[in-house]
Structure 1
Amino acid sequence: MAQPPHVTTEPGRDDRFRVLVVCTGNICRSPAAELLMRSILVGRLGGREASRVEVSSAGVAAVVGAPMHPLSRAQLAPWGLDSRAESFRGRQLDDSVVRGVDLVLGANVRHRSRVLERYPHLLDRTFALREFARLATAADTMDLPPDLVKRGHGLVELVRSMRGTVPPADDSLPDPMGGPEQAHRDAVRLIFKAVQGIVEQLAPRAAVRR
């Protein structure tokens, strides 16, 4: 039987759910989302189980090799992630980055569009970050499987089926680049809320285990 399009056939990688977050430069919003999602998952599941979700990020016009913007990095301090973010370096969205990805989250709708311009085959798994969080929060996830990776695939399918069925909302995530510290604080606050909502559905408090 043919594999569904969201299931990777790469050898040795069948037991992972891969999330890619995309913004413009990959130095503010998408690295914040990457680090926050990974941290929340580890806090909820422990490192071993959380490692089954691979979270990464890239930019459609990345400042390749650049560190995370210091003002955005500083906003991660409440979670103890500011020091961890020091090793982050920006990377460009390309074929190697999207290979095997199960869920793509653009900072805004235009990032979702830019991804799909290059990779139209990812239509079934590409959303704006706050859009996906909003739909996932509204979804009835009672029938999703308990296994973390299978639940991830099921959640993407469920959210995709809800497109156009939930009243529209403001899913924007303003770019803090060039703005004051408050702009970076506001962006990270929105990112944290969205990522937290996604993790609530991906890994409910009743621990997800194989």
Structure 2
Amino acid sequence: MEGSPGDAETVDPVQRPGDDRRDPRVFPAPGENDGFRILYVCTGNLCRSPLAERLTLSILGPCSALQVISAGTRATPGMRMAERAQHVLIRLGGDPGGFTSQRLTSELVAAADLVLTATTEHRAEVVARHLPTAARVFTIAEFGTLARAVPAAAVVCHDDPVRRARALVTEVRALRGLVRVDRPDIPDPYGRSRLAHRAAGRAIAQSLTVPFRLLTHAPAS
């Protein structure tokens, strides 16, 4: 598993407890703003979820209304992204600078408006931690597949990013069970080849392309 405790692959000479400064690893407290909160989840928070987090930030650009973080179900806090994942992220246009891992908590799940997981197993664990989240948790690949079937007009008609994000989740949720998702999981590349890391990065990037195109597309005049 990706960076899981007790796994031989956890000990990576490239990764040490990070002392880099980075953005806060928690969402703002309720009431601090009216933003939309996206949480990515994998196992070790070393490859898949940080790739997704930093790609999302690169796609959406600076937008205080959309907060994006990631966590791992079995993460060791304070670890840097896996070196090969960093290389893939840079090739895809993202920035790994300052990233450190954190462990998933029920509080993070409860605070998120959208949770996107690497696999169906992670999705089930997220729901087990906070049952009301079931309506707003998807795998990354599942969300991307369902988003491709969303009528663009239902999302891009809103000029406010938060309303747009909420509309997208509503539309995607309505398609659950109606649109077939053949490959809902993104395999764990941790400790594997560069090719495996590139495949994971491509799968994440391809899955995010349509949903975040809808979030950033200019509304019709």
1:127-185 CA-to-partner distances (Å, cap 9, x unmatched) read: 00010111011111313323110111111111111111112321220100121111111
2:66 is aligned to 53
Contact 1:27 1:63 in 2 (8 A): no
Q: Secondary structure at the match of 2:96?
A: helix
Q: How many residues align structurally? A: 191
Matched, 1:26 2:48: no
Q: Which residue of 2 aligns with 1:139?
A: 150
Partner of 2:9: none
Identity %: 37
Is 1:151 equivalent to 2:164 in the alignment? yes
| 1:37 matched to 2:50 | no
Question: Amino acid of the residue matched to residue 37 of structure 1?
Answer: T
2:30 aligned with 1:10 = yes
1:41-190 correspondence to structure 2 within 5 Å: 41-42=60-61, 47=62, 50-81=63-94, 84-144=95-155, 145-190=158-203
**Amino acid of the structure 2 residue aligned with 1:34:** E
Provide TM-score, normalisation by structure 1: 0.85
Runs of at least 4 residues off by over 4 Å: none
Report which stretch shifted further, 187-196 or 30-39. 187-196
CA shift at 1:117, angstroms?
Answer: 1.0
RMSD between superposed Cα atoms in Å: 1.9
| Counterpart Cα distance in 1 of 2:170 and 2:202 | 27
1:25–1:61 CA contact under 8 A, matched in 2 = yes
Per-residue deviation, 1:121 = 1.2
TM-fit CA distance, 1:9? 9.3
Q: Give the letter for the 1:141 counterpart.
A: A
- Contact between 2:54 and 2:96, CA under 8 Å: does it hold in 1? yes
Cα shift at 1:12: 2.6
TM-score scaled to structure 2, two decimals? 0.81
Report which stretch shifted further, 27-36 or 141-150.
141-150
Q: Cα gap change, 1:183/1:79 in structure 2, threshold over 3 Å: closer, same or farther?
A: closer
- 2:71 is paired with a residue whose SS is strand
In structure 1, what is the Cα distance between the partners aligned to 2:174 and 2:139? 15
Taking the aligned partners of 1:137 and 1:110, their CA distance within structure 2 comes to: 23
Superimposed CA distance per residue, residues 22-61 of structure 1 (whole angstroms, 9 cap, x where no aligned partner): 000000000000000110111xxxx2xx231111000011
Deviations 1:4-26 (A, max 9, x none): xxxx9921321x11100000000
Q: Distance in 2 between matches of 1:143 and 1:107?
A: 26
How far off is 1:191 after superposition? 0.8
Please tell me whether the aligned partners of residues 26 and 62 of structure 1 are also in contact (alpha carbons under 8 angstroms): yes
The answer to whether the 8 A contact 2:109-2:129 is kept is no
